[in-house]
């Protein structure tokens, strides 16, 4: 008798928590039906496989969209008329963390996860993403922008992930009370304007290969890496950074070596008047500068009298589906991933967290067109380059190269630095 009294509070709490969980989950599912519905959003599976049932699926998404994803899964179940019951285990994990966790241990990793496109080849080699073929591939190609499909493909032919966002590039934010519109068009005038008001430009052009590439790509350099389709290894490269074009880019980098006006950071700080970063800083920028915030394409830089427009990387975030041993679960995972990246889901994500869509229809939504950050990205898109697949170490090599260039570096020294860079490229190819 006494023991029951002792245990009853515990039992009660357990029961209540279980009910509560299920209750909230269902309510959310019902309330967010606006995401569901057919009309081109759902891919029709021609295989006719009977994959109905209950599935335990582990999902890794950024914490900003964790609860949104949960509701979208509820909508998925509604959309398929209850054919599938998904026991979703959603863990908040940023894209970088998701990729490295999958690489460390594929088998215990998530079934569906989001990652940035530069990790695609590594994930493919490790067997963390499954190939998408057939009608699903066609469906995705029809509904998403061509560049986003390219980002999810290896060697431009094999699709390995579903596009989620298109806004993983970078552009210029500035405070219009400090920098005028004209001044923001060229790096020299931009830096002068900032210096006059004792503010800084936060730009990782010399300390991060991803940003440093904007100079080289702007002068026309390229670094293309070929991947062996079967093994996924980097087998060869075509790189012309060690050339006159590269030297011009190096001279441009000298300008941003002035540490008194350029701060090595990709986030806002109290002292900054301009920052080069991605859409993820939009909210913070709005908070800091309010109505003075302007989003614009990257400026150009001048070397020996000629202007070169700074390029950037067009970045995409992708969703990968892990290869499954159970073919039914594999089928359901793909359907779920397709749903989570369809028009309605992308629109919902834009409305909630302002993530730029890859879906063609959503990109033409008036709200999307009006968003300043996304507009800047679109403007910059003319000058941007597809990131493509390259070894992760390539970014570090580029970072070291850019860091070696100072304000006083001579042309001769720049050439030597570039020679060292290109001599190290062989080592970045995959060894066997």
Partner 1 sequence: MSNKYRIDNVAKVEPLFNKRDEELAALKEKRASSSLKAEEYVTSVEAVKCEALDGVIELLKTEKHELALAKKDLEAKVKEIEARYDVADKAHEEGSMDQKAYEAEYKTIRNELIPLHKELLDYRKDLLKKDQGIIFAKKDKLEASIKKIEGLLKANKANCKAKEIEKEEFLARKEALEAELKELEKAKAEVKREAVANEQAQFLLMSKGQKFGYKFVRFFESIPEKVGGLGKKIAKGLKKLVINIGLFFKGLWDTFIHGDWKTKISYFIMGFGSIARGQWLRGILFLLFEVVFILYIVLFGGHYLGRLYILGTVESVTGDDGTVVYGENSFNILLYGVLTIFFIIAFAYTWYVNVKQNRIAEQIIKDERKLATAKDDLRAMVDKNFHTTLLALPTLGIIIFTVLPIFFMILVAFTTYDANHNPPLNLFGWAGFDNFAQLFKWTNSGGASFSMTFGQILLWTLVWAFFATFTNYFLGMLVAMLINKKGIKLKKLWRTILVFSIAIPQFISILYVSKMFASDGIINNAHMWIQRTIFKAADPQPIPFWDNQWLARITVIIINIWIGVPYLMLIVTGILMNIPADLYESANIDGASPWQQYSKITLPYMLFITGPYLLTSFTGNMNNFNVIYLLTGGGPKDINMFGNAGKTDLLITWLFSLAINDSNYKLAAVIGIMVFIVVAVVSLVVYNIIPSTKNEEEFQ
Q: By the criterion CB under 8 A, which residues form the site for partner 1?
A: 47, 100, 103-104, 106-107, 122, 125-127, 130-134, 200, 231-233, 258-260, 263-265, 269, 271, 321, 323-327, 330-331, 333-334, 392-393, 396-397, 399-401, 403-404, 420-421, 423-428, 430-432
User: Of the two residues 65 and 425, which places its CB atom closer to partner 1 in the complex?
Assistant: 425
Task: Please state, in angstroms and rounded to a whole number, the distance separating the CA atoms of residues 232 and 107.
Answer: 19
User: Of the two residues 17 and 133, which places its CB atom closer to partner 1 in the complex?
Assistant: 133
Burial of 25 from C-beta contacts in 10 A (0-12 / 13-18 / 19+): middle
According to DSSP, residue 198 is labeled T
- Dihedral, CA atoms, 86, 348, 360, 45, nearest 10 degrees? 20
- Dihedral, CA atoms, 364, 368, 369, 370, nearest 10 degrees? 150
Q: How far is the CB of 377 from partner 1 (least distance, A)?
A: 26
Q: How far is the CB of 322 from partner 1 (least distance, A)?
A: 9
Q: How far is the CB of 418 from partner 1 (least distance, A)?
A: 11
- Count Cβ atoms below 10 Å from residue 286 Cβ, excluding itself: 16
Q: List CB contacts of 392: < 8 A, sequence separation 6 or more.
A: 118, 119, 122
Task: Please state, in angstroms and rounded to a whole number, the distance separating the CA atoms of residues 363 and 145.
Answer: 9
Q: How far is the CB of 276 from partner 1 (least distance, A)?
A: 15
Strands annotated E in 182-271: 200-202, 223-227, 234-239, 262-263
| 286 within 8 A of 70, measured Cβ to Cβ | no
Q: How far is the CB of 182 from partner 1 (least distance, A)?
A: 24
CA of residue 384 relative to chain centroid, distance: 15
User: Of the two residues 131 and 185, which places its CB atom closer to partner 1 in the complex?
Assistant: 131
Expressed in angstroms, the distance from the first to the final Cα of the chain is: 69
Q: How far is the CB of 366 from partner 1 (least distance, A)?
A: 36
User: Of the two residues 51 and 314, which places its CB atom closer to partner 1 in the complex?
Assistant: 51
Q: How far is the CB of 356 from partner 1 (least distance, A)?
A: 27
User: Of the two residues 236 and 327, which places its CB atom closer to partner 1 in the complex?
Assistant: 327
User: Of the two residues 14 and 423, which places its CB atom closer to partner 1 in the complex?
Assistant: 423
Residue 279 vs residues 316, 353, 378, 395: alpha-carbon distances, Å: 12, 10, 12, 21
Transcribe 255-285 into DSSP letters.
HTT-TTTEES-SS--TTEEEEEE-GGGHHHH
User: Of the two residues 117 and 422, which places its CB atom closer to partner 1 in the complex?
Assistant: 422
User: Of the two residues 27 and 423, which places its CB atom closer to partner 1 in the complex?
Assistant: 423
Among 298, 277, 314, 315, CA closest to 215: 298
Q: How far is the CB of 392 from partner 1 (least distance, A)?
A: 7
Q: How far is the CB of 363 from partner 1 (least distance, A)?
A: 27
User: Of the two residues 360 and 428, which places its CB atom closer to partner 1 in the complex?
Assistant: 428
């Amino acid at each position: 008798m006494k023991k029951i009294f002792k245990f009853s509070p515990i039992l009660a709490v357990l029961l209540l928590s279980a009910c509560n969980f299920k209750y909230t989950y269902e309510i959310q599912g019902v309330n967010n039906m606006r995401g569901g519905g057919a009309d081109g959003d759902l891919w029709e599976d021609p295989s006719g496989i009977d994959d109905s049932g209950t599935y335990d699926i582990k999902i890794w998404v950024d914490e900003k969209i964790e609860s949104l994803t949960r509701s979208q899964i509820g909508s998925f179940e509604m959309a398929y008329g209850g054919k599938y019951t998904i026991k979703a285990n959603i863990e908040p994990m940023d894209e970088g963390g998701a990729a490295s966790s999958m690489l460390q241990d594929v088998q215990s990793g998530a079934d569906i996860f989001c990652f940035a496109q530069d990790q695609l080849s590594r994930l493919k080699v490790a067997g963390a993403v499954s190939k998408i073929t057939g009608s699903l591939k066609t469906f995705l190609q029809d509904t998403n922008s061509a560049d986003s499909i390219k980002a999810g493909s290896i060697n431009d032919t094999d699709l390995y992930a579903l596009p989620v966002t298109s806004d993983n590039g970078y552009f210029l934010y500035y405070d219009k009370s400090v920098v005028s519109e004209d001044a923001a068009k060229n790096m020299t005038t931009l830096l002068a304007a900032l210096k006059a008001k004792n503010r800084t430009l936060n730009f990782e052009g010399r300390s991060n290969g991803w940003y440093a590439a904007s100079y080289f790509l702007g002068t026309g350099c390229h670094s293309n890496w070929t991947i062996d389709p079967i093994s996924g290894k980097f087998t060869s490269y075509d790189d012309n950074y060690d050339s006159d074009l590269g030297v011009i880019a190096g001279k441009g980098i000298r300008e941003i070596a002035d540490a008194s006006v350029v701060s090595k950071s990709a986030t806002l700080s109290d002292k900054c008047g301009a920052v080069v970063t991605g859409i993820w800083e939009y909210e913070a920028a709005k908070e800091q500068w309010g109505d003075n915030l302007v989003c614009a394409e990257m400026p150009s830089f001048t070397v020996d009298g000629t202007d070169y427009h700074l390029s950037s990387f067009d970045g995409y975030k992708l969703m990968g589906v892990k290869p499954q041993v159970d073919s039914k679960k594999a089928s359901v995972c793909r359907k779920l991933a397709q749903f989570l990246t369809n028009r309605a889901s992308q629109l919902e994500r834009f409305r909630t967290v302002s993530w730029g869509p890859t879906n063609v229809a959503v990109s033409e939504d008036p709200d999307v067109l009006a968003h300043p950050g996304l507009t800047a990205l679109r403007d910059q898109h003319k000058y941007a380059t597809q990131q493509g697949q390259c070894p992760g170490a390539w970014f570090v090599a580029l970072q070291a190269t850019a860091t070696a260039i100072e304000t006083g570096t001579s042309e001769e020294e720049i050439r030597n630095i570039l020679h060292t860079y290109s001599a190290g490229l062989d080592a970045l190819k995959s060894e066997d």
